[in-house]
Structure 1
Amino acid sequence: MSKLQWAQNIDDLRTLAKRRLPRGLFEFVARGSEDEVGLQHNRSVLDSIKIKPRALVDVSQRSTATTLLGRAQGLPLIVGPTGAAGMLWYRGEAELARSAADAGVPYVLAMSSITPMEQVREACNGALWFQLYLSPETATSDQMIDRARAAGYDALVLTVDTVVSPNREYNSHNGFSVPMRLNRRNVLDFACHPGWLCAVIARYLAAGSMPRFENYPQAMRHSVAGRQKQRWAPVKRDESADWRAVAHIRKRWTGPLIIKGIGCVEDALAAVVAGADAVILSNHGARNLDSACSPTQLLPAVIASVAGRCPVWVDSGFARGSDVFKALALGAEAVLLGRAPLYGLAAAGYAGSARCLQFLREELDRCMAYAGVSDLADIGLDNLQDTGLVLPVIPVRSHPNPPQNLA
């Protein structure tokens, strides 16, 4: 039996990924920020929601198909943007994109990815979206938007929840930074994982250079490794940005615009007013603000406030098909995946990420059968058991930078 055949769920893929990857790289993917309270909170909220089983219901014709942004797809899932993919597997972004396309779901290419967006597009015939962070220099963002349009990307995912660099202290303990500075600790870590070293780093070197951030403007395409005293930030975040920046992007990008990183009702409403075609509730997988609320817990209040004016999607902490079912029951139209497909990718490349999506498809389908549901459109609050869980009703205050005043 192969290692991949041994894996029966996403946690098994995580185990395989942990064995194959250097510790610093694995923890960069798997861990949160500061005290990692957010990681526990994301999981505990999902675990506290219970699905109501129904008996003697005809579920012989089940379907996990749905439609997002007017495009039919096989699952209510999106493979989200994750900057480490190209370090887990050679040209890992292209492998993720292929597995997503074969599963009938979109793939979001991270702005900080290593494989050029044009090569990812060539490798994938499915829905491809591009992630964008706001840069202080408007021209920098404009260049990436124009390049994504020219490469044939279908939607833009503007990520707004990382205004400053997060505090991930374990990266310092592991000697893992950007740029990566080689020291005794991480050199030993790499040497203890020769399979990864030969299959990933050696292949980049054989192709001509160390991995670098290929989707930034030319002057910013630094290598992931740097000299010991070299300090740089690949692309600075715009700490002064407000909703006027969204208005500019809305004008420049004529395709679907999705705003990711919404963490409260106020910002969800502001995103709707700013012209978002969908919003993604997210706490960045508990990798940014450690004390942020679980996006799943926010769903009922946001759904009620948005009131059908804009699709609401969610991410952060989803590892089972039953988790996806719960999000749909609370009103989300789709779930973004971060770590789960990365574990599959790190374990076995395309085959591993495809296996991850297969697990989720089978688990969601099984959940639907137990809940007496044949179509995703029929999943709702009635499919959840009343366990006394009190979901928040969050008061809406005025936004500090309301987009209504934008011209």
Structure 2
Amino acid sequence: MRQQPQSIADFREQARRRLPRFVFDFIDGGSGSENTLAENRSALDRHRLVGRAPVDVQACSQSVTLFGRDYSMPVIIGPTGLAGAAWPRGDVDLARAASKAGIPFVMSTAATATMEEVAAAEAGAKWFQLYIFKDRAVSARLIAKAKALGFKALEVTVDNAIPGRRLRDARNGFSLPFRWTPAKLASLAAHPAWSMRMARAGAPRLEVMAAELGLDEADTIAELMQSQLDPSVGWEDIKWVRDAWDGPLIVKGMLDPGQVAKAVETGVDGLVISNHGGRQLDGAVATIDILAEFRAQAGSRLTLLVDSGFRTGSDIARALALGADAVQVGRATLFALAGGGEAGVRRALDILKSELEIAQMLMGARAIQDFGPAMLRSPRPLRAPGTVPEAAAIIPAAPAAGPLSLVAEKRQGVLP
């Protein structure tokens, strides 16, 4: 009997064993050379945590308030398309696990369940991720349906003017509906448990998009999205969504802190700092490296969420210290979903909560609001090729206008 996964890395390895290669690569892969995918991990590792003792951490809390609602920890299950390829009715299982953990679940427009099914899954908060389609009437219908079904927030993805070139999918011939080749059939034979689940449940399909766009098939996911998404989307379109949606509005896919002023002007409530998990722009900046600049620009005017590469409680602590209000996870819960449906996702969330608690207590943060930039150190770059790197630099208190000081001021309630 194999041991239960003890980390998200364990869940990833379990998914690699249990899923056919073309499905695992769809979940695990990035765009181009997968440089951004690798940099997300490297950048997180560069930010080192500072243990703080002695501090009385006997009574610690992970509770957080987002858009006026209280949640058990600063974690959100972010939108992930085609979750049903990992486990039948995967979107519903993700929603149920999030509800039981007391955190939000963001349903993807590229979900493999209907909006009605997800809305009815447990009583927890569901948010809806929206694409702005070439046919604006489709997006308008989705907004209206999300409102009618009680979704609490709308998350508009904007970093998809053109899909990234995902080489693993191209090499594997990943398509919807699945098209069977000798290699794929051999992979099915090597993964009988997955094959039997899919045979009983039926092949996954993009239920929301199929219902709204009448889609039957496409050569690849990237080509499907390219045929339907609008590269002309700008802030005027976000304003159109703002006018149609009276709940919290979040814009996902932000990497340029210079866009913050426009977001505030447009009436956006929050941003997700994201490089799409390394699946869009190859060579993009890691989100953890740009986070403090966003907080500097936003102050306390926007709720800042962050995603792309977060796999441990220590990763979440790093983001909180640099000014994030919460972290969205994607692959972490998909790997867990592949390992055991809702039960796997619940275990993965328990692991993240436990890891965050360890980081929190050892860093002396009794509450999430106690995290700040003084709890991190980052090494300076090399002076020149071949020279010895300087000693790790202490992140300073920074001048008043600096990004890190603004993080601290927001945490202390100084900013308006």
**Shorter-chain TM-score above 0.5:** yes
Deviation at 1:305, TM superposition (A): 0.9
Q: Identity of counterpart residues, as a percentage?
A: 39
Q: Which residues in structure 2 correspond to 1:59-78 (within 5 Å)?
A: 59-78=57-76
Native 8 Å contact 2:82 2:204 kept in 1:
no
Partner of 1:211: 204
Secondary structure at 1:268's aligned position in 2?
helix
**Range 112-121 or range 267-276, more displaced:** 267-276
Pick from 216, 226, 250 the counterpart of residue 258 of structure 1: 250
- Indicate the SS of the match to 1:123: coil
How many Å separate the matches in 2 of 1:252 and 1:337? 27
2-structure distance, mates of 1:154, 1:98: 16
The equivalent residue for 1:86 is 84
Q: How high is the TM-score relative to the length of structure 1?
A: 0.90
Report whether the alignment pairs 1:377 with 2:374.
no
**Number of residues of Structure 1 aligned to a counterpart in Structure 2:** 384
1:313 is aligned, of 305, 308, 326, to 305
Instruction: Kindly provide the amino acid, as one letter, of the partner of residue 349 in structure 1.
Output: G
2:233 aligns to what?
A: 241
Unaligned runs of at least 5 residues, structure 1: 395-407
Asked whether 1:388 is paired with 2:380, we answer no
1:174 maps onto 2:183 in alignment: no
Q: Distance in 2 between matches of 1:227 and 1:54?
A: 53
How far off is 1:191 after superposition? 2.6
Gaps of 5+ in 2: 379-391, 397-401, 404-416
* Contact 1:176/1:186 (<8 A) preserved: no
Matched with 1:405 is: none
Q: Give the superposition deviation at 1:124.
A: 2.3
Aligned residue in 2 for 1:399: none
From 350, 368, 373, the counterpart of 2:360? 368
1:6-17 to 2 correspondence within 5 Å? 6-17=4-15
Alignment of 1:299-338 (within 5 A): 299-338=291-330
Q: Deviations over 1:22-68 (max 9, x none)?
A: 10110111111111111111111110111111122111001111111
8 Å Cα contact 1:134/1:141 also seen in 2: yes
Question: What is the match of residue 349 of structure 1?
Answer: 341
The answer to whether the 8 Å contact 1:221/1:234 transfers is no
Q: Give 3-state SS (helix, strand or coil) of 1:135's partner.
A: coil
Q: Per-residue CA shift, 1:178-208, capped at 9, x if unaligned?
A: 4432222222222321110111x21233xxx
Greater Cα shift, 172-181 or 120-129: 172-181
Larger mean CA deviation between 267-276 and 290-299 belongs to 267-276
Could you say if the C-alpha distance between residues 288 and 244 of structure 1 is closer, same or farther in structure 2, counting changes exceeding 3 Å? Answer: same
| SS of 1:312 mapped into structure 2 | strand
Deviations 1:109-144 (A, max 9, x none): 010111111111111210100111111111011011
Q: Secondary structure at the residue paired with 1:216? A: helix
- Counterparts in 2 of 1:234 and 1:304: CA distance versus 1, 3 Å: closer
The aligned amino acid for 2:237 is A
Q: CA offset at residue 234 of structure 1?
A: 8.5
Aligned Cα root-mean-square deviation (Å): 2.1
Structure 2 match to 1:397: none
Cα distance change on mapping 1:115 and 1:374 into 2, 3 Å = same
CA distance in 2, matches of 1:254, 1:71: 16
SS where residue 58 of structure 1 aligns? coil
Correspondences of 1:212-231 after superposition (within 5 Å): 212-216=205-209, 218=211, 220-223=213-216
